Amino acid sequence: MNVLKRCIYGISITSLAFLNIQCKGNQKEENKANTTQKMDSVSIEKKEYGTTPAGQKVDVYTLKNQKGMEVNIMTYGGIITSLKVPNKAGVSEEVVIGFNNLEQYTKANPYFGALIGRFGNRIAKGKFTLDGKEYKLATNNDANALHGGPEGFHRVIWTAEEAKGGDNASLKLKYVSKDMEEGYPGNLTVFVTYTLNNDNSLDVLYEATTDKKTIVNLTQHSYFNLSSDFAKPILDHEITIDADKLVPVDAALIPTGKLTDVTNTPFDFRRAKTVGKDIEAKDDQIKKGLGYDHCWVLNNQDKGERFAASAYDPTSGRLLEVFTDQPGIQFYSGNFLDGTLPMRNGGTYAHRTGFCLETQHYPDAPNQKDFPSTVLNPGENYKTKTTFKFSVK
């Protein structure tokens, strides 16, 4: 190599090294920019919401992402008071039933937006037996116990802890249910973590441990109306439920113990069907539920968290998909809404203006030996997750 060539070679190596340093520097800058952007992509804000008649302070947390989704959760009942998601024109609007003040939530209402526990759905005669000992629960649905009893988790104050990751915002709620509260054995420590992601999904992670053998079946009781027009019934929503079987009930909505095939019945939602299509069908189960108020036996129970159900409102284009690791889902078509409870901005919530998709174990499981068990032992971790994912089509 002559001197000139050697010189050029030397300069090139130096410049390459320099360029390399420059590039690495730029990359670092870029990474930093991404992280900053990610950190800003979600936000959480805390505000005082009010004071209960018993004098307890209640806060409300607003979780927002960058895709137009916003959820308000209060520490009373872990209730989702508001959930806004975009329609197909990109306009974010309210999609859950709710009130505009705490006082209204503390009065009797059908679990609007609430966390349900210690046991979602009905327990026949409010009784069950564990290791030969019979437990008597607080009853609130004629002779039966419904949704954890009159003073269930929907009416207690949860403590809250905020967390913010790059792409999501979480609110971790905690409640310690005392031994024999509402008749249930064992001190139960419960965590429910709501996480808003930047793909317009809301995860609900339920965790619990006990110091005495007990039963647990937690769920979320939001009433959706994807049209955002709460004066309009949800009958045009198209529902799918990935279930071949149903948990049929008696006149008191207590399971008969059998599981029946949905084929050729109004309960077949394996292909999208409007809520209204068969809701008035001459069918014994429809009659008993006054419409849909049943638990479906979800398919693929060995697959962990998987698709369970969806709801689509053609007018707004909003699609809600529900994923869960639970064996069942209660689809309730708002049959007991009767025009007595106030809407946020005037008017009242009329018959079937909201629907619930409550992921859970089957009703009355503690008294049904063939249903998957809801028993929780000391040393075990109850852990289950449900995701509500919104999009448009």
Residues of this chain that interact with ligand GLA (CB under 6 A) are: 110-111, 121, 146, 253, 293, 330, 332, 336, 356
- Lookup: tokens for 373: 């068990």
Q: Which residues contact 262 (CB under 8 A, 6 or more apart)?
A: 243, 244, 245, 246, 268, 269, 270, 296
Q: How far is CA 364 from CA 29, 221, 369, in A?
A: 58, 18, 10
Q: How far is the CB of 314 from ligand GLA (least distance, A)?
A: 25
At residue 134, φ and ψ (nearest 5 deg) are: -90, 135
Shortest Å distance, C-beta 111 to ligand GLA:
5
Q: How far is CA 246 from CA 52, 240, 259, 328, 356, in A?
A: 39, 14, 6, 9, 16
What amino acid occupies position 249?
A: V
The catalytic residue positions are 221, 358
CB of 293: closest distance to ligand GLA in angstroms? Answer: 5
Give the integer Cα–Cα distance in Å for 42 and 65.
4
209 vs 217 by CB, closer to ligand GLA: 217
Rounded CA gap, 365 and 334, in Å?
Answer: 23
Q: Which is nearer to ligand GLA, 367 or 391 (CB)?
A: 367
Q: In what order do the strands lie in the sheet with 260-261?
A: 260-261, 243-247, 293-298, 328-332, 356-360
- CB closer to ligand GLA out of 84 and 237: 237
Q: Which residue is nearest to ligand GLA (CB)?
A: 110
- Cα 364 to Cα 137: distance, rounded to the nearest angstrom: 13
Q: Exposed, middle or buried: residue 167 (CB in 10 Å: 0-12, 13-18, 19+)?
A: middle
Task: CB nearer to ligand GLA: give 145 or 356.
Answer: 356
Q: Is 65 helix (H, G, I), strand (E, B) or coil?
A: coil
| Closest distance of CB 291 from ligand GLA, Å | 10
Tell the smallest beta-carbon distance from residue 109 to ligand GLA (Å).
9
- Whether 176 and 189 have beta carbons less than 8 Å apart is answered as yes
In terms of CB distance, is 128 or 332 closer to ligand GLA? 332
Looking at the Cβ atoms of 241 and 253, the one nearer to ligand GLA is 253
What does the chain come to in residues? 393
Which of 69/253 has CB closer to ligand GLA?
Answer: 253
Residue with smaller CB distance to ligand GLA, 81 or 330: 330
Residue 29 Cβ, how far from ligand GLA at the closest point, in Å?
Answer: 53
* DSSP letter (8 states) at residue 249: B
Q: How far apart are CA 372 and CA 384, in angstroms?
A: 14
| Torsion over CA: 208, 162, 305, 289 (sign) | positive
Element of type H or E holding 43: strand 43-51
Cis peptide before 271 (omega within 30 of 0): no
Residue 382 parent element (H or E): strand 382-392
Amino acid present at 25: G
